[in-house]
Structure formats: structure tokens, C-alpha cells
């Protein structure tokens, strides 16, 4: 599929040549009415305008877009790739919005991964799984509050999201401890290793 190949399908929300947007729309179309999807998308899908903005609005309106996981960098071969995982449940056609709130988990800042020396493992996502609460999503509890400013888990209502510029879903950032806690910051040897692995991946 070439970048300039535009897909214009009557069952798609937006006509686009963006492969990621085509992928998201195709997955949603393949779902049954009660189907569930988990899709990895690049960061720009959640904040750029144009077809991206249209699809974000449709996801909030026509599906229950209930969770977004911000992935750490250093877990893909592409240098500097930043991505998120979106979780949504399909819904029957209705004039009423199907998303009421979106939960966000920030698994990026203060987390350092490399493909060879420090790859992402299931254990690194245990905190997210616990917060996600797959047994009962209605029982979820935020870990970020005024009393717990270092928490990684909170929600925003659909109304709050639609009030943002272009209905951007790129939000909820944490301070990088390495910028404020120099004594406990990442050791230079680790940073050098990350740079070398990124360079090797780029050459491959």
C-alpha cells in the first residue's frame, strides 16, 4: 500500500491515505455489534486534525472508547516511535453518544526501555492491568489526584475531551523525574546504550 493511495469506502468515517487510519476504520467495520478491539496507533492519530479529528469524534460517538494506554518509547524497532493503545467496544447505531468517559494510563515518563538490554515485559504492565480492572470496569479507581500527583491513571469525561482543541486525545502528561531528581536520574551508561540501540535499529 503506497502512502498516496486514498481509500474511499462508503462504510468508512473518513476518506484518507493514512494507513493507520484505514487500519482503525477497517477493524471497527469488522467488529460485531458487541465486538471489542485493542489497537496500537501512533501518537499523531490522537491529536492531528483532518481525518484524524473526524475519526476521534466518531469513536467517541459511535463506540465506547473507554481506555487509552500511552506506551513507553524504546519498545519498537523504529527510532523514537511513540504510540498508544486504544481500547474500544463497538455499539449499535444510536443518536446518543456511546462514550461517557475515557481512562488514561501514562506508561511513558520515568520509564526507560531498550529492545535488547531492557525490553518491555508483561511485568512492566502489571500496574496498568490492575488499574484496567478487566473483571469490572465500573469499579475502576483513579490513582492520580491532588493527594497522589505521581499517579498514572485517571479519566476524562467525553464533554471534557470534546472541549479540547480538535478533540485532542493527546493529554495527561507526567513530569519526568530525571529532570527534577538528578541524584536518582538514569545512569549515563543506560542512556548511551539506548542511543546505540536506536542507531542500530535505524541502520537495520
User: According to the model, what pLDDT value does residue 183 have?
Assistant: 47
Q: Which residue do the cell numbers 463506540 mark? A: 63
Domain coordinates of the chain in residue numbers? 19-203
Q: How far apart are CA 17 and CA 56, in angstroms?
A: 16
Q: What is the mean pLDDT of residues 153-175?
A: 82
What are the E-state strand segments in the chain? Answer: 36-42, 63-70, 83-90, 101-106, 153-157
pLDDT at 109 over 90: no
74 sits in which H/E element: none
User: According to the model, what pLDDT value does residue 64 have?
Assistant: 97
Query: Which CATH code of 3.40.50.150, 3.40.5.90, 3.40.1050.10, 3.30.450.20 fits the domain covering 19-203?
Result: 3.40.50.150
Q: What is the pLDDT of residues 54-107, one digit of tens each?
A: 999 999 999 999 999 998 887 887 767 788 999 999 999 899 999 999 999 998
Amino acid at each position: 500500500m503506497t502512502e498516496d493511495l486514498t481509500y474511499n469506502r462508503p462504510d468508512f468515517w473518513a476518506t484518507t491515505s493514512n494507513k493507520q487510519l484505514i487500519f482503525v476504520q477497517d477493524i471497527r467495520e469488522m467488529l460485531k455489534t458487541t465486538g471489542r478491539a485493542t489497537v496500537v496507533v501512533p501518537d499523531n492519530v490522537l491529536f492531528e486534525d483532518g481525518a484524524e479529528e473526524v475519526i476521534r469524534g466518531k469513536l467517541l460517538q459511535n463506540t465506547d472508547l473507554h481506555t487509552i494506554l500511552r506506551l513507553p518509547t524504546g519498545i519498537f524497532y523504529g527510532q523514537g516511535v511513540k504510540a498508544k493503545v486504544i481500547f474500544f467496544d463497538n455499539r449499535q447505531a444510536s443518536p446518543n453518544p456511546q462514550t461517557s468517559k475515557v481512562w488514561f494510563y501514562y506508561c511513558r515518563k520515568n520509564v526507560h526501555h531498550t529492545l535488547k538490554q531492557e525490553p518491555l515485559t508483561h511485568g512492566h504492565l502489571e500496574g496498568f492491568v490492575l488499574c484496567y480492572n478487566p473483571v469490572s470496569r465500573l469499579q475502576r479507581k483513579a490513582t492520580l489526584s491532588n493527594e497522589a500527583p505521581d499517579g498514572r491513571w485517571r479519566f476524562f469525561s467525553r464533554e471534557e475531551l470534546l472541549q479540547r482543541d480538535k478533540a485532542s486525545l493527546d493529554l495527561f502528561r507526567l513530569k519526568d523525574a530525571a529532570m527534577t531528581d538528578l541524584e536518582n536520574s538514569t545512569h549515563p551508561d543506560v542512556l548511551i546504550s539506548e542511543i546505540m540501540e536506536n542507531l542500530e535499529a535505524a541502520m537495520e
